[in-house]
A and B are shown apart, each in its own frame.
Chain A
Amino acid sequence: NAGVTQTPKFRILKIGQSMTLQCAQDMNHNYMYWYRQDPGMGLKLIYYSVGAGITDKGEVPNGYNVSRSTTEDFPLRLELAAPSQTSVYFCASMGGGVITEAFFGQGTRLTVV
């Protein structure tokens, strides 16, 4: 059981480039999340989804886009990379319900130069 899989693990982008961070889960979870974590800081919610076809903004959505065409996949798109987007990105999924555990991918370390 793979759980939550994120690709790539590492990436260096130049300013203005675009890329998609991939996230897939095989647990049939309804809820999926994207967070960013800056050095020494907590996780900040970028976007989340409560099911296929539904996405919502978190606290730091600017500069990012998401889609949720299937239950399994929740890609995060950076259109015009900026140095401020240098961070570690974590994808998570959760089955739903009030008391339930979120499972995280191993993270993508992104550097924008």
Chain B
Amino acid sequence: RKEVEQDPGPFNVPEGATVAFNCTYSNSASQSFFWYRQDCRKEPKLLMSVYSSGNEDGRFTAQLNRASQYISLLIRDSKLSDSATYLCVVNKNNNDMRFGAGTRLTVKP
């Protein structure tokens, strides 16, 4: 089993749609969780950290369920500029940081 697994995608949605991405992790000792965004042929950049209580940043909401070892990202009111690959990242207690394979999102006019 992979350490971090994500929805395979791709997701193709119209502008204004709400889209959700899921991620599961295998190591129950994992301590911190993130969503990164990667544009085509660019380096990944932090989108948001994921806190146990769930957190929101504008149109983006991240949730963590430690019992189920599950992380989610919800994007509301999708914009064309949201088109990218979204990477789920899990940081184990020794700062061994693992990435999921990514989910590609295309937002269409």
> Which residues of A come within 8 Å of B, CB atoms?
31, 33, 35, 41-45, 48, 50, 56, 58-59, 90, 92, 94, 96, 98-102, 104-107
With known contacts A102-B46, A106-B43, A43–B87 Cβ distance under 8 A: yes
> Which residues of B come within 8 Å of A, CB atoms?
3-4, 6, 31-32, 34, 42-46, 49, 51, 87, 89, 91, 94-102
With known contacts A90-B44, A99-B49, A43–B95 Cβ distance under 8 A: no
Q: Are B87 and A94 in contact (CB under 8 A)?
A: no
| Nearest CB on B from A62, distance (A) | 17
Q: Are B46 and A90 in contact (CB under 8 A)?
A: no
Q: How far is the CA of A59 from the CA of B3 in the complex (A)?
A: 10
- Chain A residues with CB under 8 Å of B89's CB are 102
With known contacts A41-B101, A42-B87, A105-B43, A98–B96 Cβ distance under 8 A: no
| Nearest CB on A from B81, distance (A) | 20
